[in-house]
Chains A and B, each alone.
Chain A
Amino acid sequence: MMTNHVHQPAFMTGDEFSIDTFSLLDAEGELYSGASEPALERDHARRLYQAMLATRILDERMMAAQRQGRLSFYMQCVGEEAAVIGAAAALDDADMIMAQYREQGALMYRGFSIDEFMNQLFGNELDYGKGRQMPVHYGSRKLHYMTISSPLATQIPQATGYAYGQKLAGDGLCTLTFFGEGAASEGDFHAALNMASVHKVPVIFFCRNNGYAISTPAVEQFAADGIAPRAFGYHMHVIRVDGNDVLAVFEATRQARKIAVEQNQPVLIEAMTYRLAAHSSSDDPSGYRLKSEEETWRLKDPVLRMQKWLLKKGWWSEEEETREQETRRQEVLDTMKRAEKRTAPPLESLVSDVYADVTPELQRQFDQLKKHIRRYPEAYPRGARSLDLDVDTANDAQGDA
């Protein structure tokens, strides 16, 4: 590194730099003057929008189901659909996505079926995760979507490692990891960015700066101008983008991907957006933010903005909108009814997958448990039913995960 020598002390704070926000579409779905439309084909744009709409509908219905007591817990993506789905749409479908927990839209975009969503949400016998994790902890091997882990930011250095493996394999793929601006305070974030830069790894760090970490506003999370300036400290490409503008997110991520796979360089993207809903079904934002603040962000609704653009282009119609909404709502309701009636995963799933094979000691503990359940079957109805069947139904029913 070249450095100038000066002979009077001069301190810097970072205010010397200002980071612009890249945006293409205004709130009315019009391109800003001077903006060029990204290379997004009609079918691709429709697929992207349909995923946004489906995610919005799934979130609405499942939040309602949670309020009715049908579901233990839920987390909505509302307000952040453009950030999440715009990014996913700019990737190769075989690129790995390592998400935080609010990115179901990316999975929707890749074709995770409503059945697959429901089976996880209800933790039934068809859930790929075998009923082990709370709702919204999805994963899909076939869709290259890493199973969600609750501890925050742990996926970020893992994405660096995963992408390093992709680089060695030479398959031309990369990894994109999602996280919030709150998670970016964790040590794992800094470890991940530094290692990715030092080892020249094709990974995209995608920060959803949605303004809140549960109740903590961004101003109490960091003193600097958001997350983006941190890239300078790691000598990393960085771009800030309007996270409610799906075209801008798509284009920024598309170009980030080129840098990642063609130059083996990591990229940081900071998408400025807003969590319109509560943190989770267990949270109530009225305790920490004003309704009026939420209303200003509702006017920037990313789904509506994309819809307006599509309508103007003639790539979508009001009739299609109505029909799609009805079909999706009905599908969610029908699927939910099926999923909630399914039985729990078999008792055996308590001890499988801890190791590749059940260890002798764990087998001994399991045999003891089965004996106990047989003695008090009414106290453990799920386990007792599974013992009666004495067959591993989940494995037969799973298919391609």
Chain B
Amino acid sequence: MATMNMLQAINNALDIAMAEDEKVICFGEDVGIFGGVFRATSHLQEKYGKARCFNTPLVEQGIIGFANGLAAQGSVPVAEIQFADYIFPAFDQIVNETAKYRYRSGDLFNVGGLTIRTPYGGGIAGGLYHSQSPEAYFTHTPGLKVVVPRNPYQAKGLLLAAIRDPDPVLFLEPKRLYRAAVGEVPEDDYQLQIGEAEVIKEGSDITLVGWGAQMEVIGKAVELAEEQGIACEVIDLRSLLPWDADTVVESVLKTGRLVVSHEAPLTGGFAGEIAATVQERCFLYLESPIRRVTGLDTPFPLALEKEYLPDHLKIFEAIRESVNF
């Protein structure tokens, strides 16, 4: 075991993957000698050479188009989009190409080797173009997998799984936690199962569901709730596509109450999908309406970031109201 922050864990996962398989290739804007603007790819060019870790021109649609072709050829590209806010020029390549490669060719060709890494989320005074959580655009796209880790241990195990997964994976990294989240991480190779949620804490009164950086916020809200004697069950979804409905449903059948929280805006957010599925499968067991605690239906703010964010107090209120319904 070693103590690592999330960036170190991600860097370590990339290092292991590149050492193991020479087909693994990392690229993106500034990922070369500089090691990425967040340093997730530090020292990889020194270790594995410029052919396998390099800067690209500043063109997101080109990065993903290039990555699709490279993956179709049989390589294992790990493409970085510097901020999730800047992924949209590549939206066509991801949604129409990456996601449909295997299907449209009848499995003659696929881009399963592809992993797209991109930092997402707010809380870093990044304003509307360095804070967005665009996961719901991609969870609406069959053929993609969407994975979000919550801490260094999860980040390493899930990233290694994503790189080796037979399907293309969009790996959303909570950038607020890049250096803030520190934990024990095995130095050896390990993988965590994509598509499986994790029950982080068991409890009988209410279920809380989230992913990525929001798990830390949910944790704080749960502390407040537990002080008031409310026993919370906490689930980290980890994969949004495919998502582990069984684990969530099993929990809600037990607790009868559900709060889902994400930073992205409410309308069309992934919490809506979870709520719809849970009401279908747990209808007669629900003790109170399912609550969504999310960002507002606005662009991401700057000066009033604190007010916008679904913080622990807003989640705590939702828990209280749900339990007292």
Give the interface of A toward B (CB within 8 A): 96, 98, 127-130, 132-133, 137, 139-141, 146-147, 149, 151, 154, 156-166, 168-169, 175, 187-188, 190-192, 194-195, 198-199, 349, 352-357, 359-362, 401
Least CB distance from A65 to B in Å reads: 23
Of the candidates A156, A165, A362, the one having the most CB atoms from chain B within 10 angstroms of its own CB is A165
Least CB distance from B48 to A in Å reads: 12
B51 and A161 contacting across the interface, CB-CB below 8 Å: no
Least CB distance from A277 to B in Å reads: 25
> Is B210 part of the contact surface with A, judged by Cβ < 8 Å?
no
B106 and A127 contacting across the interface, CB-CB below 8 Å: yes
- The interface-forming segment of B69-77, B172-180, B201-209 is B69-77
A151 and B70 contacting across the interface, CB-CB below 8 Å: no
Q: A157-B66, A158-B68 are in contact. Are A195 and B242 (CB under 8 A)?
A: no
Q: A130-B106, A165-B70 are in contact. Are A157 and B242 (CB under 8 A)?
A: no
Least CB distance from A144 to B in Å reads: 11
Q: List 20 A-B contacts (CB under 8 A).
A: A98-B69, A132-B106, A139-B106, A149-B97, A151-B96, A157-B65, A158-B72, A160-B65, A161-B65, A164-B69, A165-B73, A188-B61, A188-B92, A191-B65, A194-B62, A199-B54, A353-B103, A354-B142, A356-B112, A361-B243
Of the candidates B62, B64, B77, B243, the one having the most CB atoms from chain A within 10 angstroms of its own CB is B62
Complex Cα distance, B145 from A146, in Å, reads: 23
A162 and B96 contacting across the interface, CB-CB below 8 Å: no
B61 and A147 contacting across the interface, CB-CB below 8 Å: no
Complex Cα distance, B100 from A171, in Å, reads: 28
Least CB distance from B75 to A in Å reads: 4
Interface size on B, residues (CB 8 A): 48
Complex Cα distance, B102 from A149, in Å, reads: 12
A151 and B109 contacting across the interface, CB-CB below 8 Å: no
Q: A165-B75, A187-B89, A356-B112 are in contact. Are A157 and B105 (CB under 8 A)?
A: no
Q: Give residues 62-96 of B contacting A (CB, 8 Å).
A: 62, 64-75, 77, 89, 92-93, 96
Contact partners of B96 in chain A: CB under 8 A: 149, 151, 154
Least CB distance from A163 to B in Å reads: 8
Q: A156-B65, A168-B51, A356-B166 are in contact. Are A141 and B108 (CB under 8 A)?
A: yes
Contact partners of B77 in chain A: CB under 8 A: 161
B66 and A158 contacting across the interface, CB-CB below 8 Å: yes
Contact partners of A162 in chain B: CB under 8 A: 69-70, 72-73
A355 and B106 contacting across the interface, CB-CB below 8 Å: no
Q: A132-B104, A359-B242 are in contact. Are A195 and B72 (CB under 8 A)?
A: no
A158 and B69 contacting across the interface, CB-CB below 8 Å: yes
> Is B302 part of the contact surface with A, judged by Cβ < 8 Å?
no
> Is B107 part of the contact surface with A, judged by Cβ < 8 Å?
yes
Partner of B66, one of A160, A187, A360, A361: A160
Give the interface of B toward A (CB within 8 A): 25, 51-52, 54, 56-57, 59, 61-62, 64-75, 77, 89, 92-93, 96-97, 100, 102-110, 112, 142-143, 145, 166-167, 195, 242-243, 245-246
Of the candidates B96, B107, B243, the one having the most CB atoms from chain A within 10 angstroms of its own CB is B107
B75 and A353 contacting across the interface, CB-CB below 8 Å: no
Contact partners of A355 in chain B: CB under 8 A: 102, 143, 145, 166-167, 242
Complex Cα distance, B52 from A169, in Å, reads: 12
Q: A158-B68, A195-B56 are in contact. Are A128 and B62 (CB under 8 A)?
A: no
Q: A137-B104, A149-B97 are in contact. Are A154 and B65 (CB under 8 A)?
A: yes
Contact partners of B25 in chain A: CB under 8 A: 168
Complex Cα distance, B104 from A133, in Å, reads: 7
A147 and B242 contacting across the interface, CB-CB below 8 Å: no
Partner of B167, one of A139, A166, A356: A356
Of the candidates B51, B61, B69, B107, the one having the most CB atoms from chain A within 10 angstroms of its own CB is B69
Closest to A163 in B: B69
Complex Cα distance, B60 from A191, in Å, reads: 9
Complex Cα distance, B59 from A140, in Å, reads: 30
